Amino acid sequence: MNAQPDARAPSDRAYSDPYLAGAGLGVVLLAAFVLVGRGLGASGAFASTAAGAVVAIAPERAAASPLFSHYLEGQGPWLEWLSFELAGVMFGAWVSAKLARRLRIAVERPPALARGSRLAFAFGGGVAMAIGAALARGCTSGQALTGGALLSVGGWLFLGVAFAAAHTLAPFVRRLWS
Amino acid sequence: MSAPLIADEALGASLGAAVALGAAFGFALERAGLGSARKLVGQFYGRDLAVMKVMFSALVVAMLGVFWLSRWGLLDLRAVYVPLTYLWPQLFGGLVFGAGLVVAGLCPGTACVAAATGRVDGVFVLLGFLAGMIGVGLVLGSFADFYTSGAHGAWTLPELTGLPYGSVVAAVVVLALAAFAGAEWFERRVR
């Protein structure tokens, strides 16, 4: 794909129009409601995988956890719907990047930030998001997007405070991104 | 015919749909450029408001689809799972999540996109997220009262405000259009 040069940064040039990509995403979310009566998500796949790992090592600890016990009912932690959905996400993302010739092994970071530092902050940010998503019972996909589209009070609350917190903290971590 | 079309009991069909829907979800996120941490955090520095544009467009399209399909009797709203509201843990969890988001530069879904497209930082976000889930799951029993506080079940904005479903939908559309106009104005000003 050869995009025409324009005023935007070179790295942005090849990506789709955000409104178009967003509308496409909305159609996918609507299709999920229509096909299976539930929306999209991400964090539940990790919560169920964590439940599966803990129940294999310490079953009594897993059963006592309000987070893990939820995933031990029904078909069990390894047949969680969101885990299959996320496997699909990784496949779909790979196909899209392959078609656009964007596949590249890299650590995304500003030049002034060491590779190791970026990876450490990525890991730490992941830990913090897990705490948040576990308490909120979902993340950007499951609460903000899915809950938001269904006009859930908790979904809108999560959407509002998560973005407010990120915007508020951003000036203090500017070093990580520029 | 009334949707949802696939029953929970049809596990194979349900999981097959999960993979297909996920693939389309991942494709859309990658197309939008949200597998790139530096593009994503542009939102929080006012450089690039793609995150807000993508999320709000998706939310509005799905919201309008659900509204009209249910109004036409094609979608049974009672059979659609609405995420449950627990006010206090969702308020606190949202704050911690947002802080983690601006440090990690990727949310769990977009970190999957980053990892699948070769970004090692995306892999580390996912490792941290899984480690965090194991840790929080092991200690959450001690915070069970907080975890279930402010429980309101499947609680929606029309129920909260007492306004008709259609009025809230219209208000969200107006809010989104205003946000899009504001974003375009702001980005023109910054460039």
Residue-wise pLDDT for B17-61, tens only, equals: 999 999 999 999 999 999 999 999 999 999 999 999 999 999 999
CA distance A155 to chain B (A): 7
- Sequence ranges of the domains in chain A: 12-176
Smallest Cβ distance to A61: which of B92, B138, B144?
A: B138
Query: Which of B123, B133, B180, B191 to mutate: most A Cβ within 10 Å?
Result: B133
Cβ contact (<8 Å) for B101 and A129? yes
Residues in A closer than 8 angstroms to B61, CB to CB, are 22-23, 25-27, 29-30
C-alpha A5/C-alpha B112 separation (Å) is 29
C-alpha B46/C-alpha A54 separation (Å) is 41
In angstroms, what CA-CA distances link B162 with B155, B165, B166? 12, 9, 12
- CA-nearest of B55, B54, B77 to B65 is B77
Q: According to the model, what pLDDT value does residue B1 have?
A: 56
- pLDDT, one tens digit per residue, over A158-169 is 999 999 999 999
* pTM assigned to the model: 0.94
C-alpha B30/C-alpha A167 separation (Å) is 23
pLDDT (average), residues A79-104: 96
For A15, other C-beta atoms within 10 Å of its C-beta total 21
Reported residue count of chain B is 191
C-alpha B96/C-alpha A24 separation (Å) is 29
Pick the range with the lowest mean pLDDT from A137-146, B82-91, B127-136, B182-191.
Answer: B182-191
C-alpha B105/C-alpha B121 separation (Å) is 9
In the DSSP assignment, the letter for residue B105 is: S
How high is the ipTM of this complex?
0.97
Structure tokens at B10: 């049809």
